[in-house]
Amino acid sequence: MSLTQDDVKKIAHLARLSISEDDIPSYEKELSNILNLVEQMSAVDTSDVLPMAHPLDMVQRLRDDVVTETDHHEQYQGIAPSVENSLYLVPQVIE
């Protein structure tokens, strides 16, 4: 499995990662090598095997529908890069 430089750019966009043009050739090579390693998986027929998402067979616990969280917004927003009137600030999204 070999990726192209365009694939690398597309994946980086999907993952919302800026990568510099200079680094694209090395990502192309390293990601292709990892996918080649992973390619060993296809040698095994798994059509009858049930996928295992999780190591323990468990179901999600249910709990009573009551409020358990208390308000910590000042504490949590205190570590945010930019906050005003309890709102997280980002560059303007809507004109």
The answer to the question of residue 55 lying near other proteins (CB under 8 A) is: yes
Buried b (16+ CB within 10 A) or exposed e, 50-64: eeeeeeeeeeeeeee
Q: How far apart are CA 31 and CA 14, in angstroms?
A: 15
User: How many other CB atoms are found less than 10 A from the CB of residue 34?
Assistant: 12
Output the smallest distance, CB 84 to other proteins, in A: 13
How many CB atoms neighbour CB 7 within 10 A? 15
State the nearest-atom distance from the C-beta of 1 to other proteins, in Å: 10
Binding mask of the shown chain, residues 18 to 37, with x at each position contacting other proteins by CB under 8 A: xx-------x--xx-xxx-x
6 interacts with other proteins by CB under 8 A:
no
* Pairwise CA distance, residues 8 & 25, whole Å: 9
Binding interface with other proteins (CB under 8 A) = 3, 7-8, 11-19, 27, 30-31, 33-35, 37-42, 44, 46, 49-56, 58, 60-61, 63, 72, 75-76, 78-82, 88, 90-93
